[in-house]
Amino acid sequence: MSAEQNTGRLTTHVLDTASGNPAASLVIKLSKIDGTDRTEIKTVTTNSDGRCNAPLLEGGAMQTGVYELEFDVGGYFGNTQSNAFLTTVPVRFRISDVNSHYHVPLLVSPFGYSTYKGS
């Protein structure tokens, strides 16, 4: 199967568990990790539903390897929580099947977070 035929995609969403609302306008950087090398692929900002308007990876861009999502929670909480503990939440994960949907949600407050492989 050629890269153009990959049917998988990578998506994310962020929920602000302190307020019980989607984390709107939170900046996320996606990078590919190869040993000690990091290649930034894109930077996106969440919409009013705490989601990105399009998949972070799909089609030919969906390749196997190790990736990292870097969530700028300090920038997000900096507007409302001057005493926030967290600044950046990095989530590193592996894509092993280019035809699967990888969903990486982040549940975050100014002082802690949780993530998991969603569907």
Surface-to-core class of residue 117, CB atoms within 10 Å of its CB (0-12 exposed, 13-18 middle, 19+ buried): exposed
Q: Does the pTM exceed 0.75?
A: yes
pLDDT in tens, 82-113: 788 999 999 999 999 999 999 999 999 999 99
More confident residue, 119 or 68: 68
Total residue count of the chain as it appears in this document: 119
CATH code: domain of residue 16: 2.60.40.180
Q: Determine the pLDDT at residue 5.
A: 81
Number of structural domains (the chain) is 1
Q: Is the pLDDT of residue 4 over 60?
A: no
How many whole angstroms from its chain centre is CA 19? 20
Whole domain around residue 39: which residue ranges? Answer: 3-115
